[in-house]
Structures are given as C-alpha cells and as structure tokens.
Amino acid sequence: MTALWVALRSAWRALLANALRSALTMLGIVIGVAAVITMMAVGRGATERVQEQMRGLGSNIMLVVPGGVSQAGVRLGAQTRQRLTEEDAQAIAFDIPEVQVAAPTARATGQLVYGNTNWGSTIFGVTNDYLEARDWGLVVGRLFDEADIAGSAKVAWIGATAARELFGDEDPIDQTIRVRGVPMTIVGVLAPKGQNSLGQDQDDVLMIPISTLRNRIWGGDGASKLKRIGAISVKVRDGQDMKVVEERITELLRQRFKVPPEGDAPFQIRNLTEMLQAQEESSRVMTLLLAAVAGISLLIGGIGIMNIMLVSVTERTREIGLRMAVGARGKDIRAQFLIEAITLSLLGGAVGVGLGAGATWLIGELAGWQVAMTWDAVMLAVGFAGAVGVFFGWYPAQRAAGLLPIQALRYE
C-alpha cells in the first residue's frame, strides 16, 4: 500500500509539473466521454419515447381502415373508400378466435361548450371495447351501458386535456356540455395518454357511444344508416402470432366484400405494434451507432495519451536511471507511468461526465428532445476511459521499465 501511495504521489507531481500539457492531453478523453454520455442519453431518450408511445397505443393492436379508390386513373389515398361497417368489426371479433376485441370507431370534430367556455376537440364514436383494445382506462366515472348504446344516449367520456380546458379544477362528472348543439353529460374522465407517434395529443378528445355520434351528431344520414365507421381497432390475444391474425382478417374481409383474388382490397391493415417495435429497434441501433462514433474520440484521446507518455519517458530517462540506481525495480517504474496514464484518463473522464451532463441538459431544454442520462451510461464511459488509459499507457510504461540503468544515466 505504501509503494502504491508513493507511485500515486509521484504520478500526480509529474502531471502537475506539466499542467498545460496534461490538460491538453486529457482533452481527447474529455470530449470522448462527453460525446458518449450525450449520444447515449439522446438515444435512450428516443427509445423511451417510443416505449411510451407503445404503452399509450396499447399492446398487440392492429388498425383496419378503409382503403383507397382510383378515379380516372388517379389513385387516391387511404381511407377514401368508406366501406367498413360495425358488422365488419363484429365479424372479426366473432369469427377469429385469436382476436380479443374488435372495436369500431368513427370520428368527427367540433366545439365543446360549457357555460361561457368552449374548446375545439376531436369527437370519437366508440364502444366499451375501444378502451379494452387501447388499454385505456377511466380515472373516474363509468363505462357506457347497453341502454346508452342502444338508445343513442347523450353521455360522454372526456380526455384530460379537454377536461382541463373546459372545467379547469372543477369536477367534470355529471356536468353537461354542448357538442354541435347537442347536450352531453360527462360520465367518465379518461386516463391521460400523452402524445402519439405523430405528436398529436391523445387526451384532447371526447368519446361518445358510436350510435350517438351516428344518430345525433351526424344526424342519421345515409352513411349513418349503413353504420359506416372510420376504423376498427383490433386487439390480439397475448401469445398469438400477429402476422397470422392479420392474414385471417384480410381473408375474412375480402370474403365479406366479395373481392376477387386479383382485386384490390377496399381496406388496409396496419400492425401498429409491429411498426413501433421496429421504430424502437431502430432507436436502439442508432444509440449504439452514436455511442460507437463517440467512442472513436476516446480512442483518439488514448493515442494522445500514448504520445505524451512516450515523450515523458524520453524526457525523464535520467530520472528513471537514478531511481533504478537506488533500488527501484522495473515493476515500480512501470507502475508509476501506468498510474500517470490512468490518472490522465480518469481525470478526463470526470470532466467529461460534467460536460456530457451539461450538453444533455442543453439538448433537452433548447432542442426540446427527450433525453435520458443514466448511471450505467456514465459508468460505461468512465470505465472505457480508464481502459483506454491502461491500454495506451501500457507500452510507454513497459518501455520505461525496460531501460537499463547505466544507459539511462548516460542519456543526454
């Protein structure tokens, strides 16, 4: 322990004797550690953002939407062919055992009015199955009962954002609002969901029974009488193959729509869970790539340490000879120079941690990105910096330990 303490003190004095050179040598390590921490924080934040979106979306979910149409040789976009109906959703739920629920949805927009306050929001026509499909709950209130859906009752669930804008701190339950002139009684407040993958606020919604939207908001027009809907949210049971279920839904709907084998299907199926999982995997790969690129700075810093340590060995050749002449062994000389290299790396790593934390905070505040700086990233960066010090400091230390005392003393 005494010998180690002497080596540490000697290494520290040697670094302080050339403080400017030591600081410049550490610069590569500082930048490398800061870059690794910052890039991993950005990548981790992106991954967590995708995971939040997956939790907000729900698990094992697919979305069936109307397909596109062609007019005069021009192919229009998705959802331009309104052929999905509530019966299609019922068929998917009843005919495919792997499907847990198939929830029909329709949507509109409008002003929500409460007293002298109004707020523009999205209005969804849903059933209770929609909450199960989306893993969405109510903070307070009740579900729609059969009488509500059968009788087109004027009841609603309200999202957290819409509730805040209309009611402030007031309890929304049993309050009456007007939607396109139709009074609606709030019977439930939806749990907060946050933004979706497109940056849209999922809490800025009002949900009413789909029959209420069809008969009271749309006014019972032709599309309403046919029970047309905008989408079907399909939740697949745990452990089932999403691809197989997707194929079965496709086959079922093609039969219902009497689409020939070579014909274009009037619907599209989007595996939202698979899309977000692919996005999450891409974020993880990007995190590793960013960390690897940042790690190059650490290697460059290590080369700088090796260069300076070789110069130091040359400059202190006579000192090495004197120490050997009075009894220092080769391993003592090796330990001294190795400790100097490791000290440079770890000091640079400590400064790099502070710089990386500051850069991470600035990116989060100024750029508005979601970042997540974790201790495992800090330990990885500092540990890698220490390993760089050992790797690049070993050769200069070994070279110093291999000097012959008589040659070292005669060195000019």
For residue 65, tell me if it sits in a domain. no
Q: Read off the pLDDT of residues 43-66 as tens digits, 9 standing for 90 and up.
A: 777 766 666 665 555 567 888 988
For residue 61, tell me if it sits in a domain. no
Tokens of 142: 């009740």
pTM over 0.75: no
In percent, how much of the chain has pLDDT > 70?
A: 77
For residue 44, tell me if it sits in a domain. yes
Alpha-helical (H) ranges within 138-256 are 146-150, 160-167, 210-212, 222-225, 242-256
DSSP 264: P
- The region of weakest confidence among 100-104, 188-192, 250-254, 334-338 is 334-338
Chain centre to alpha carbon of residue 337 = 44
For residue 96, tell me if it sits in a domain. yes
Q: Which of 265, 293, 319 is the last residue of a domain?
A: 265
3-state secondary structure of 227: coil
Number of domain units in the chain = 2
pLDDT band at 204 (very low <50, low <70, confident <90, very high): very high
The residue ranking higher by pLDDT, 6 or 182, is: 182
Q: What is the mean pLDDT of residues 143-162?
A: 92
Same domain, 200 and 289: no
Q: Read off the pLDDT of residues 219-262 as tens digits, 9 standing for 90 and up.
A: 765 445 567 888 998 988 887 888 888 889 988 998 888 888 77
3-state secondary structure of 270: strand
Sign of the CA dihedral with 47 first, then 50, 56, and 60 last: negative
Cα separation, 37 vs 288, whole angstroms: 12
Helices (H) and strands (E) in the chain, counts: 14, 12
* pLDDT over 50 at 131, yes or no: yes
Same domain, 204 and 328: no
* pLDDT over 80 at 130, yes or no: yes
Same domain, 206 and 229: yes
For residue 66, tell me if it sits in a domain. no
Q: Which of 265, 288, 319 is the last residue of a domain?
A: 265
Q: What is the mean pLDDT of residues 368-383?
A: 77
Residue 275, judged by CB atoms within 10 A of its CB (0-12, 13-18, 19+), counts as middle
pLDDT band at 77 (very low <50, low <70, confident <90, very high): very low
What is the structure's pLDDT at 54? 56
Buried b (16+ CB within 10 A) or exposed e, 220-251: eeeebeebbbbbbbbbbeeeeebeebbebbbe
